[in-house]
Chain A
């Protein structure tokens, strides 16, 4: 599989770290690309690959300020892959961060947690 993906945050795409070797998995910042499917395609491909041979423990952190509706669909798909990994008896822990009073990001996270069967923590930061 592709070694790792590290993307710096731009003004409309988030920071992404997918690093199996060091056990780092993170999506953070603002995700507002016009064509989110295109932007997230390599990320989803990497995840599908990772599903075949995941680490014993995957801690995946989401620390998003803003996302558009196009991005949330792709984020949902990423979390669905994590659900599959968890069902294959590997330990998965999703941490969805939100800032104080940010009901919007908190609630969107909560809804995804309710929709999928995977360990999912909401954390204030």
Chain B
């Protein structure tokens, strides 16, 4: 993964209040954490309770969709995963886009496509009718495909269900599904006006997914960084590491570096309009994990960062321990304690730290950092 990728994604997702894109293992614990992250970003005021509940509901349905339909096709004969499911949640202006990507057998594509097209032709009352029908008569397909879950999502969304199929190999296709939710209930929305064009949001999901697959990225998070978002994110990654059965030592190193880079953003990022908007990515190649962050810093921090990273990059592992001990002895006066954190990161990194500072105008810079573990 090249460090420029973080800049590229940041630019692409710049206007998002929140973006979470994840490909990997889908456990129940994960659903809970993603809901915590999205709830935090949507906000807690009572007037948007309805929106929040809808988003949580659609997230749960999307996850179940991936778990129910994606798993068996994405496995190799030795049970290793060659196609992890995709989940994406983006919040942009008053809209929240929830999307999933999973494999389905090619023979099921036309059936599913028909069902979705039919669903999109229905108006609100008809969807409700269909929903009640399904509730009493059971599901449409043996696995519940295009069944109750989809209809219920369409009811919550009040927008057409967007979908797409992408050929993967001779047996399976990737099924992309996207729901658009909005904070203010739209007036006079007419599902019949739905045009069969792919929205920019859908093209983005597919585009990001392609890069993530190529670069082995497990997760991208862009949004506000505060302790309230850092803790669920840490837990998400920790659960994933447990699932991967990584050794204790590697796990500890990863979590330690994660804590330091994420809290660094929270503490040192320049806040625009009261928000510390930043991006974080974690990727895995066969041997190594790579953690990348990107955030806006002011001119003063920019100089400090350059000086501190160049300093730790100039030291070998033994010298880093000496430097660590020296910093530990220094007084507690340095409230934000940036010195020790960066030494910690450098100590656990298997390579020199890679960083970049790109001018952003108004004396600000975009600081990106990649750590290999």
Contact = CB atoms under 8 A, between A and B. Distances in A.
A8 interface: no
Contacts of B328: 72-73, 76, 111-112, 115
Interface string B332-349: 100101001101100010
Interface stretch (B59-67, B246-254, B305-313): B246-254
Nearest to A34: B227
Contacts of A112: 328
A34 B255 contact: no
B48 interface: no
A74 interface: yes
A6 interface: no
B260 interface: yes
Interface residues of B, number: 29
Interface string B79-106: 0000000000000000000000000000
A115 B329 CA distance: 9
Contacts, number: 70
A43 B266 CA distance: 25
A68 B259 contact: yes
B288 interface: no
**6 A-B pairs with the lowest CB-CB distances in the bound complex, closest first:** A101-B248, A69-B340, A69-B341, A104-B252, A69-B344, A70-B337
Interface of A: 11-12, 32-37, 66, 68-70, 72-74, 76-77, 99-105, 111-112, 114-115
Interface of B: 227, 231, 234-235, 247-249, 252-253, 255-256, 259-260, 263, 266-267, 321, 324-325, 328-329, 332, 335, 337, 340-341, 343-344, 348
